[in-house]
Amino acid sequence: MAQEKEPQTAEEFFNRGVERAKKAQLDAAVEDYNKAIQLNPNDARPYFKRGAVKAMKADFDGALADYSKAISLDPSNPNAFYSRGLAYVAKGDGEHALADFDAAVSLNPKEAAVYTSRAGLRFKKGDFAGAVADYDKFLAIKPNVAEMYSRRGDARAEMGDYEEAIADYSKALELSPNNTNAYNRRGLAYAKKGEADAAIADYGKAIEIFQGFADAYANRGLAELGKGLDDAAEQDFKKAVELNAELKSMIETESNKILQKRKAQQKP
């Protein structure tokens, strides 16, 4: 078999670097990108690609430097802003990440992935309305992704829009019928609305699908306790703590609130 011809030009080194990166030959890819940059330092592409390899290797500082150089050479590339934003997220720098996601969206409003990344940051900051707006935009582009309905439901639930949240969880379940998290979260929304029976049914469905779902046992127990089904609640709390001992404190705190409320209601 003929030996592979050694690249001579910046373009040839760049192209080989891309192929090597696809084969997970990351160090070799970086060497090719280095050579491409050496031969043509004004081409943004090898900086961007080298940044991507560095991000894959968890060298986020190196990735940021390369993405920034790529952006300085070609500020019209939305992927460079988005990728740099993801590197900022990896470093815990939400503010710079948001700015980069904003830039990526302005350059390419039809890239769905940017909206879900920005929504996640907005949710984390407590900007639930902003998160909902981003999930709206994502779902306008890709309307059949169950997880995004669940996430939008989470944001709506945080805003107290339980009816809308329930609709989102229901849509998620229509698309993904075995989604235990959607059942659990819809159960929580029903509980917040005071619909304990619907909540208990959803927690039960989550447990039926995944018998090891500790949170669903805990949540069902709280709903049962609220209805005066103390024995059933005790069994669910026991199972929840068996599966996840860290839930014990939450269960005790929330149970005490329910029992205090019950006591207050029983006073003449």
Residue 29 within any structural domain of the chain? yes
Region of 58 please: left (phi>0), alpha (psi -120 to 50) or beta. Answer: left
Q: What's residue 225's pLDDT?
A: 97
Domain of 96, CATH number, reads 1.25.40.10
Higher pLDDT, 23 or 265: 23
Q: Assess if residue 245 is contained within a domain.
A: no
Mean pLDDT score of the chain, rounded to an integer?
95
Residues above pLDDT 90, as percent of the chain: 94
Residue 180 belongs to a domain: no
Where is pLDDT greater, at 4 or 71?
Answer: 71
**Could you list the residue range(s) of the whole structural domain that residue 53 is in?**
8-108
Within-domain flag for 171: no
Task: Give SS3 for 214.
Answer: helix
- Is 16 a domain residue? yes
Degrees, nearest 5: CA angle 81-85-89: 175
Our CA angle for 158, 164, 166, nearest 5°, is: 85
pLDDT tens, residue by residue, 157-207: 999 999 999 999 999 999 999 999 999 999 999 999 999 999 999 999 999
Q: At what angle do helices 78-90 and 44-56 cross, to 10 degrees?
A: 30
Find how far residue 264's CA is from the centre of its chain.
Answer: 41
| C-alpha triplet 114, 119, 120: angle, nearest 5° | 105
Using 50, 70 and 90 to split pLDDT, how confident is the model at 7? confident
- Would 145 be classed as within a structural domain? no
Mean pLDDT of 79-93: 97
For the stretch 134-149, pLDDT in tens is 999 999 999 999 999 9
Does 187 reside within a domain? no
Residue 216 resides in a domain: no
Q: How many domains does the chain have?
A: 1
